[in-house]
Structure 1
Amino acid sequence: MRLEGKTAIVTGGGSGFGAGIARKFAAEGARVMVADIDADAAAAVADEVSGIARAVDVADDASVGGMARAALAEFSRLDILVNNAGITHLPKPMEEVPEAEFDRVLAVNAKSVFLTARHLVPHMKATGAGAILNVASTAGLSPRPRLNWYNASKGWMITATKTMAVELAPSGVRVNALCPVAGETPLLKSFLGEDTPEMRTKFLATIPLGRLSTPEDLGNAACFLCSDDAAMITGVAMEVDGGRCI
């Protein structure tokens, strides 16, 4: 029960890594707001973890503000914020990615971190404590061709994590990132281009431990970084990648 008495928001919590993080947080004693652009998915996971659901577009200021107000009204205090919501563009040469697709990737993967900070960092500063976790990617550390702007958005998130950590440390707020390798999530097909046995075999050959990351892997790592066990850890980008980045 490492998170007993804690409260948390997990964006993109309706599926994949976000759902795994929400489940682990709840199992460790936290009260969780499951926030997702898919209201039904958020509700399903929230029901499972005895949490609360919130429909949110993390790229929209008004929507993020509403999520923040709802969480504080429900919990009165927010201890943990997980910026997990993310999207990618399909693999293609960088110059062929449509402008609208580029804009959406940067809005969901990067602007969302700015927006949640706008609405929730003042509260954490006022309480003198808090843990923010940004779910980045190995793509931000070891980029692969044809996912250029997705790679760049995750690199931005890692740099944002470090600068947030430095600025917020005097206020007692820790900020870390997770860098998973591709996993069994709704985005897997987009990363691979096509989800076939041949493509999986080719990709798995680049991971020393020989498997994809799972929602449970991310939940375990997130729980550690957001718990008091990691009280002296801030500004790290932890690889949860089976050795992919070695």
Structure 2
Amino acid sequence: MNNRTVIVTGGSRGYGAGIAEAFIKAGASVWITGRNEQVLNATAQRIGAHAFVADVADGAAWDRLMETVMKETGRLDVLVNNAGEGVKIGPVSALQDAHLVQSIASNLTGAMLGCARAAGIMQRQGSGLIVNIGSACSKHAWPGWSVYSAAKAGLLMFSKCLLTELRPHGIRVTSVLPSWGQTDFTDAAGLPPRDADILSRCISPADLGHVLVGLAEAPAHLVTEELTLWPMVQPMTQL
């Protein structure tokens, strides 16, 4: 990954921070985005990334980010659309309109906006990798997860179609669908915490970072269309 440029959205914490750090350790120049400037800057300083405050659902913010990255490096090799949030997990009848709108914006629209801009840059280069971080929820149904799952299912199909568009230009598109993880997702979504022993055996940010660097370093003539990650500790009855 030496001399490669990588953008990781939602890089302030959790999976995003782990992914960014893994790419940095592999030799890449990494830009991370987030909405909380203080947390974002602290993470960037800790792992050696470039920080860029942005809401992924804001197209103008994407334009500024791409302009800055291209001015600094002249290329974009990997875009990791990791930003997303549970917003509010629960029966759809109990959700407010704002919950639905925000979930779609954070988990689907933001990634689409980024892909639209990265596609043009990568087509001109004749190379690149886009990784869209989805969720096992995009293919499995659980009560209370309808809106979040719908957004992630939309992202999965968007990614599949995008691959058919971009592969003639030498650009790879991969969907990565993790399940239980060592992140603050459950807390942010208002869900009860997992047992500490179980949590320690879930997917860690470093685990996911290792997987993504491997995808990026795979031969350029090969593409992983879709990859689902399950922690061994997750009960099979829930798969």
Q: TM-score, normalised to structure 2's length?
A: 0.91
Residue 193 of structure 1, aligned match among 191, 194, 209: 191
Residue 10 of structure 1, aligned match among 1, 8, 11: 8
The amino acid across from 1:241 in the alignment is W
Deviation at 1:75, TM superposition (A): 1.2
SS at match of 1:24: helix
- Residue matched to 1:228: 218
Runs (5+) with no aligned partner, structure 2: none
Q: Deviations over 1:75-128 (max 9, x none)?
A: 111100000000113232112211111001101111112211222211100000
The amino acid across from 1:240 in the alignment is L
Residue 154 of structure 1, aligned match among 134, 152, 158: 152
Residue 204 of structure 2, aligned match among 197, 214, 218: 214
**Hey, what's the Cα distance between the residues in 2 that align with 1:181 and 1:32?**
25
- Residue matched to 1:136: 134
Q: Deviations over 1:7-54 (max 9, x none)?
A: 100000010000000000000010000111112222222222322110
- Residue matched to 1:240: 229
**Hey, what's the Cα distance between the residues in 1 that align with 2:111 and 2:194?**
33
Conservation of the 8 A alpha-carbon contact between 1:133 and 1:226 = no
Residue 167 of structure 1, aligned match among 158, 165, 168: 165
Conservation of the 8 A alpha-carbon contact between 2:2 and 2:27 = yes
Conservation of the 8 A alpha-carbon contact between 1:10 and 1:18 = yes
Deviation at 1:158, TM superposition (A): 1.0
**Hey, what's the Cα distance between the residues in 1 that align with 2:41 and 2:219?**
30
Residue 109 of structure 2, aligned match among 108, 111, 123: 111
- Residue matched to 1:39: 37
- Residue matched to 2:21: 23
The amino acid across from 2:231 in the alignment is G
**Hey, what's the Cα distance between the residues in 2 that align with 1:138 and 1:192?**
19
**Hey, what's the Cα distance between the residues in 2 that align with 1:34 and 1:89?**
21
2:56 pairs with 1:67:
no
Conservation of the 8 A alpha-carbon contact between 2:115 and 2:130 = no
**Hey, what's the Cα distance between the residues in 1 that align with 2:89 and 2:115?**
30
CA gap 1:120/1:196 in 2 versus in 1, 3 angstroms: closer
**Hey, what's the Cα distance between the residues in 2 that align with 1:160 and 1:145?**
24
The amino acid across from 1:97 in the alignment is L
CA gap 1:144/1:211 in 2 versus in 1, 3 angstroms: farther
Over the matched positions of the two proteins, sequence identity in percent amounts to: 29
Runs (5+) with no aligned partner, structure 1: none
Deviation at 1:182, TM superposition (A): 2.5
Q: Provide the alpha-carbon RMSD of the alignment.
A: 2.0
Q: TM-score, normalised to structure 1's length?
A: 0.89
**Hey, what's the Cα distance between the residues in 2 that align with 1:230 and 1:40?**
37
More displaced stretch, 184-193 vs 69-78: 184-193
CA gap 1:65/1:95 in 2 versus in 1, 3 angstroms: same
CA gap 1:169/1:234 in 2 versus in 1, 3 angstroms: farther
